Copies of this chain bind each other. A is one copy, B any other.
């Protein structure tokens, strides 16, 4: 945690209370929160924090590579604090929860040059979809 704040300060971040709270929220829970959920949790500690600041801070954390943006559906983006270890996502089709998973193999290597159509391919996202144990049970 203080690691994160130290890294950010080292990159020239001005360390405001708002940024500190957002970083603490993300670092505290290793779940995948939406921007509004981050805002709600941050506001519990710092009631006047504005939505715009949360969006700004999240955007900065993403471009610094400290946090990953995850768009699993057409709804709100989610923010993944586990940006340093490569991983993929497993999403429940019913309740929407997201788990980090670590598949074997390298999907980038599975895309032959002939299938790249001149794109400069730089990243792959793999999203596994299914029913989580709770939802599968509720549906049975």
Say whether chain A's binding surface is mostly helix, strand, loop, or mixed: mixed
Contact of A112 among B104, B116, B123, B136 (CB under 8 A): B104
Task: Name the contact of A103 in the complex, choosing from B102, B111, B129, B130 (C-beta under 8 A).
Answer: B111
CB neighbours (8 Å) of A103 from chain B are 107, 110-112, 115
**A3 in contact (CB, < 8 A):** no
Within 8 A of B (CB), among A89-123: 90, 92-93, 99, 101-105, 107-108, 110-112, 115-123
Is residue A18 contacting chain B, with contact meaning CB distance below 8 A?
Answer: no
Bound Cα distance A112, B107 (Å): 15
Interface residues, chain A, with chain B CB atoms under 8 Å away = 69, 71-74, 76-77, 90, 92-93, 99, 101-105, 107-108, 110-112, 115-133, 136
